[in-house]
Structures are given as structure tokens and as C-alpha cells.
Amino acid sequence: MSDTFELKPLSAEALENAHERALHYRLLNQPRLAESICRDVLASDERHQDARITLILSLCDQFGSDGACSVPSIMALIPELTDDYDRAYYSGLVCERRAQAILDRGGPGAGVTAYEWFIDAMEHYEAAEGLRGAGNEDAILRWNTCARIVNARSDVHPPERDSGPHLLE
């Protein structure tokens, strides 16, 4: 028999401090603690944009670990971001981090799969670039990072295109 515990809500006055703790746990490389805190903040204020962004980042930090969540579950959080730029930028970040996790894990076909994720990330970053405010070049910096990885690694390449059987004349 398993007990189910009812989660305790946070007071409105505690939300900013709790979010700061989530940021702190991300810096300490404890993304599951950061995730839990962000979920508590969002349970008290579902519109808390900073907690939603930190939740997205803490979930991405878990790529490659046992029980890590999937890209679709993270991408489901993106539409709740209220800013068009943020939706494009963080969609790119999810794809980029997934690509890097695939490369870190390695294995057959990792470079091809990572390439496709990097290309998706770069497309999102290009969309974000068109929506950015003056002086915000974060999307350009991220796009350039993806491009450098793709350019520098021979194992990161598009899938081979099979043109079908070749006939000898």
C-alpha cells in the first residue's frame, strides 16, 4: 500500500524567494530540486513566467539522466510563455540541449540525430532573432553555437540521401 501525500501550497509572499531558490539549485546542478520548486511556484501562480522558464531549463538540464522527461513534455510548457520571442527562443533552447545530450550519449547515428535537432534549434533561433528587442542578441549567440558545433564535428551531418538503385550502363 502506498501513501499519497497532498502537496502544501506556497503563500503569494514566498513565490519570489522560492523562485530564487530554484535558480540556486540549477546552479548547484540539482535540476530535480529546481523543477520541484518551480512546480510549487506555478501551482500557486500559473502565470509566473520566470518560474515557467526556470522549469523549462531545469527539465532540459535532466536530458541524458535516468527518468528524464521528454521533449514533447517540455515543449508543452512553451505555449504558456506570454512573449513571442520567449516562445521561439526557448523552443530553440530545448532542441539545442536535446541535440547536445544526444551527442554526449553517443552511439550509432547520434551525429545524424543531433544534426536534425540542431537544425530545428537554429530555425527557432532565427524566428526569435526577428522578434528580439534592441540589444538582445541571445538568439544569435545560440544560433552561432549550434553552427559551430555542426561545422566542427564531422559526425554531425544530415542523413544520407539514398537515391535508389544505381543502374550500370
> Residue 82 burial by CB count (10 A; 0-12/13-18/19+): exposed, middle or buried?
exposed
Q: pTM of the predicted model, to two decimals?
A: 0.89
Q: Which residue reads 553552427 in cell numbers?
A: 147
- Of residues 98, 75, 74, the one with CA closest to residue 149: 98
What is the C-alpha to C-alpha distance for residues 55 and 40, in angstroms, rounded to an integer? 10
Which runs of consecutive H residues, i.e. helices, occur in 76-109?
84-105
Domain ranges of the chain: 11-74, 83-159
> Residue 109 burial by CB count (10 A; 0-12/13-18/19+): exposed, middle or buried?
exposed
Check residue 62 and give its pLDDT: 94
Q: What is the pLDDT of residues 54-95, one digit of tens each?
A: 999 999 999 987 656 899 999 999 999 999 999 999 999 999
Q: What is the pLDDT of residues 91-123, one digit of tens each?
A: 999 999 999 999 999 999 999 999 999 999 999
